[in-house]
C-alpha cells in the first residue's frame, strides 16, 4: 500500500529520471556518469532523500551516489535534489549488499554514510541486518584511503555489533571516536524527520566515525542472505555533526 504523500512519485518526470541511474549489476563509470572527476560520497539507504539532497547542495564540488531499495523513495530523493538545485547526485535501486559488491569501483568513495539502517531488533531476526562482516569487507574495498565512514542508529546493540564486526577486519579502519569508539546524541548538521522524532521521544542515538587506512581489503565470499522483508527504517538518513561533514 502506497502512502498518499508518496503517490506523486509513482511516475517519474524527465528531470527526476535524469538523476536516476540504470539498474543492473555492471560496475559504475563514475566520471562518465557525472561528467567530471570529483570526490565521491556514498549514502547507503538514502530513504526519502533528506540527507543526500542537502549534502549535495552544500557540496557542489563533490558528487553523491545514493542507493535505496524502494523505487518511490528514489524518485522522491531525486525530486528533493532538484528542488535544491543539486544535480551532482545519482540514485540507484537495489539491495545495498549487491550494489556495493558489484557496482561500486574499488577505492572510489571519500565518504560513506549508513544512517538508521533497519535494526531488526528481535534476536531471531538479527541475522538479517545489513552490517555483516562480509558487507563491511566489501565496504572497505570501496573506501579510498582516508575515507570516512559514518554510521548512526538508535539501536545501540546494532552499533556495538558494527564495532565488533570491524575488529574482525583488523587494520582496515581507524576509529575517530576514542576511547569508547562511539558518540551519543552529538549535534547534527542535516537531521531528518526520523532523527528528530527519535530525539523528541527521548531516545539516544549512537554514532560511529571511522577512517579508512591504506591496508588492502580482504575479498570474502558473498554470504547467503535471508530475505529482508519490510524495510520500514532502512535508509532513513540525516545524522551527522557539522564537524564531521565539513571535513
Residue pLDDT, tens place only, 31-78: 999 999 999 999 999 988 999 999 999 999 999 999 999 999 999 999
Q: For 148-160, what is the mean pLDDT?
A: 95
Q: Is residue 151 part of a domain?
A: yes
- The domain tally of the chain equals 1
Q: Is residue 7 part of a domain?
A: no
Give the list of residues 6+ apart from residue 200 with CB closer than 8 angstroms, or none. Answer: none
- Mean of the per-residue pLDDT values for the chain? 88
Q: Is 155 helix (H, G, I), strand (E, B) or coil?
A: coil
Q: Is residue 116 part of a domain?
A: yes
In which residue are the cell numbers 574495498 written? 141
Q: Is 19 helix (H, G, I), strand (E, B) or coil?
A: coil
Q: Which residues pair with 211 in a beta bridge?
A: 148, 174
Catalytic residue (choose from 118, 124, 154, 214): 118
Rounded Cα distance, 209 and 148, in Å: 7
Q: Is residue 55 part of a domain?
A: yes
> Residue 220 belongs to what domain range?
39-245
Find the CATH number of the domain harbouring 135: 3.40.50.150
Q: Is residue 21 part of a domain?
A: no
- pLDDT given for residue 10 in this prediction: 83
pLDDT exceeds 70 at position 230? no
118 among known catalytic residues:
yes
Supply the Cα-derived Rg of the chain in whole angstroms. Answer: 17
Tell me the per-residue pLDDT of 217-227, one tens digit each, with 9 for 90 and over.
988 887 666 55
Of residues 112 and 123, the one with the higher pLDDT is 112
Q: Is residue 18 part of a domain?
A: no
Q: Is residue 201 part of a domain?
A: yes
Q: Is residue 117 part of a domain?
A: yes
pLDDT exceeds 80 at position 247? no
Amino acid at each position: 500500500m502506497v502512502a498518499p504523500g508518496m503517490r506523486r512519485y509513482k511516475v517519474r518526470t524527465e528531470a527526476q529520471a535524469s538523476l536516476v541511474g540504470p539498474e543492473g549489476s555492471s560496475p559504475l563509470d563514475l566520471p562518465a556518469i557525472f561528467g567530471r572527476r570529483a570526490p565521491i560520497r556514498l549514502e547507503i539507504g538514502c530513504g526519502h532523500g533528506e540527507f543526500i539532497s542537502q549534502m549535495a547542495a552544500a557540496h557542489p564540488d563533490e558528487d553523491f551516489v545514493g542507493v535505496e531499495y524502494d523505487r518511490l523513495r528514489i524518485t522522491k530523493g531525486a525530486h528533493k535534489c532538484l528542488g535544491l538545485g543539486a544535480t551532482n547526485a545519482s540514485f540507484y535501486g537495489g539491495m545495498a549488499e549487491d550494489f556495493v559488491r558489484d557496482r561500486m569501483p574499488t577505492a572510489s568513495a571519500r565518504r560513506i554514510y549508513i544512517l538508521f539502517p533497519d535494526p531488526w531488533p528481535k534476536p531471531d531476526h538479527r541475522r538479517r541486518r545489513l552490517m555483516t562482516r562480509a558487507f563491511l569487507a566489501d565496504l572497505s574495498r570501496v573506501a579510498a584511503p582516508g575515507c570516512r565512514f559514518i554510521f548512526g542508529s538508535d539501536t545501540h546493540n546494532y552499533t556495538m555489533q558494527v564495532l565488533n564486526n570491524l575488529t574482525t577486519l583488523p587494520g582496515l579502519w581507524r576509529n575517530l571516536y576514542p576511547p569508547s569508539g562511539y558518540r551519543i546524541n552529538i549535534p547534527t548538521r542535516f537531521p531528518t524527520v526520523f532523527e528528530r522524532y527519535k530525539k523528541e521521544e527521548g531516545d539516544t542515538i549512537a554514532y560511529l566515525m571511522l577512517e579508512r587506512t591504506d591496508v588492502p581489503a580482504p575479498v570474502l565470499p558473498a554470504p547467503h542472505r535471508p530475505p529482508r522483508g519490510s524495510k520500514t527504517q532502512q535508509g532513513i538518513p540525516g545524522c551527522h555533526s557539522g564537524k564531521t561533514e565539513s571535513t
